[in-house]
Each structure stands twice: as structure tokens, then as C-alpha cells.
Amino acid sequence: MDLFIDSASTHEISAWAETGLVTGVTTNPSLLAKSGRPVHEVLKEICALIDGPISAEVTASDWGTMLREAEVLRAIHDNIVIKVPLTKDGLKACYHLVRREIPVNVTLCFSAAQALMAAQAGATFISPFLGRLDDTGVSGINLVRDIAEIYQKGEYGTAILAASIRSAAHVEEAAKAGAHVATLPAKILEALYHHPLTDKGLEIFEADWKQTGQSIL
Ligand code: G3P
């Protein structure tokens, strides 16, 4: 399973790009608003930081305007993936974009039926929102599992991009449930490194090594 960063902060993205662990970026209108910067400028900078799929979302609600917005966003960089909402117009825009060989990420997915429609429209990625679904008392991980089963049986080429991830456990479970990608906020990426036994083990190694008085360099 690939790891993307869910952020529109060039500071955060640049720090994670250096690790080589993150191979793509997802943004959304809320994240871009939070950056407080002009959208075209931020997206251009993000594309220079990571050479992989960079999702940029349309903001119109009708498919005709979505297509015009998509054209502007794609002019920024070839790695831009057009993100459309899982609405009738969004899926119509998806169908027309994919026919022009433009990659599409269908976002705000909360049911397997919605995911099936996105795959029928030819989506490159489907983004089920795990955390927001969990908040309603329905399991986000079960949704990923259901989508994976449907996509496998129907031989769809759409990749499952688990979004709205709230914990390291979400990441492990999403990978086991069949997600191809998980997009994570920087704080969850950071949490993936940590285990108390790693910290404890390192303390012991450092103390033992100090006693030898040696240096590798
Ligand atoms: O990028 C969309 C998604 O990851 C949003 O997550 O935490 O706002 O539910 P969240």
C-alpha cells in the first residue's frame, strides 16, 4: 500500500518528501483554505516537491464548470489528478475526464454502492472517508473491505485510496482490507514511526555503547 500525505502545507510536504516514504499528495478545498495561499501557487510548489499523483479538487457543482476547472488545474502540472465529489455531476465529469486520459480521484465516498458507480465512471482512485464514517457509527474499514471485494469481483481498475485516516491502526487495517493507497495527515505519518519498545531498546543500545568509549567515525 502506498502512502500519500493529506496536506496543502508546502512546509509539511517538503519535510516528508525528503524521507522518500511519501509518493503522492491529496489536497481538498478545506486544506487549501487553511494554507491561506493562492491555490495555483501552492499546487505548483507541491508538484515540484513530490513527483507523483497530486490530487486537486474542483469546487463547482455542475459538471460543465468542473471540466473547465479541471482544465485550469491540469495546466499547472501533468501530475495533477482531478478530484471530483461523489455526486451525479461529479461522476459525469469523471467519465468525460477519463475519456480524455485525465486521472480522476472521486472523493467523499461513504458507501460501496457509491464506489461501484465511481468505478463504472472509470475513476482512477476512489476515496472512502474512514474517520468521518466511523464518526457516524459505521465502520470505515468494513467499507474498504466491501469496496475491495466488489472491485476484485468486477475486475475494476480503480484504486482504493483510504482517506480521513485518524490513527496508525486505521493505516494497518486499511492495508489489510485491500486499500492500494492511504492518504495521511502529517501527524499520523509521524505516529507510524513510533513504538515504546523501539524507544526503550534504543536507550539501552545507546547506554551500552557509551560504556565502550568507542566511536565508529
Ligand atoms: O482529503 C480528504 C480527507 O482525508 C479528509 O479527512 O480528517 O478531514 O476527515 P478529515
Condensed to tens digits (0 to 9), the pLDDT of residues 13-49 reads 999 999 999 999 999 999 999 999 999 999 999 999 9
Mutate to test the pocket of ligand 1, among 27, 34, 132, 184 (most ligand atoms within 8 A of CB): 132
**Per-residue pLDDT at 8:** 98
Q: What is the DSSP-derived secondary structure letter of residue 158? A: P
Condensed to tens digits (0 to 9), the pLDDT of residues 154-192 reads 999 999 999 999 999 999 999 999 999 999 999 999 999
Q: Distance of CA 216 to CAs 106, 123, 207, 212, Å?
A: 51, 52, 15, 11
Query: CB 3: neighbour CB atoms within 10 A?
Result: 20
Residue closest via CA to ligand 1's atom 9 equals 164
Domain range list for the chain: 2-212
Closest listed residue to residue 24, CA positions, set 64, 59, 53? 53
Whole-angstrom distance, CA of residue 132 vs CA of residue 136? 7
**Per-residue pLDDT at 101:** 97
Is 83 part of the annotated catalytic residue set? yes
Residue closest via CA to ligand 1's atom 7 equals 164
Burial (CB count within 10 angstroms: exposed 0-12, middle 13-18, buried 19+), residue 88: exposed
**Per-residue pLDDT at 48:** 98
**Per-residue pLDDT at 137:** 98
Ligand 1 pocket, residue 27 CB under 6 Å: no
Mean pLDDT of 126-139: 98
Ligand 1 pocket, residue 26 CB under 6 Å: yes
Query: CB 60: neighbour CB atoms within 10 A?
Result: 17
Query: 106 φ, ψ to 5°?
Result: -90, 120
User: What is the reported pTM?
Assistant: 0.95
Ligand 1 atom nearest residue 127's Cα: 2
User: Which fold does the domain 2-212 belong to in CATH?
Assistant: TIM Barrel (3.20.20)
Ligand 1 atom nearest residue 55's Cα: 1
Ligand 1 atom nearest residue 28's Cα: 1
Mean pLDDT of 181-207: 97
Condensed to tens digits (0 to 9), the pLDDT of residues 87-124 reads 999 999 999 999 999 999 999 999 999 999 999 999 99
Whole-angstrom distance, CA of residue 47 vs CA of residue 80? 8
Q: Which of 44, 83, 153, 176 is catalytic?
A: 83
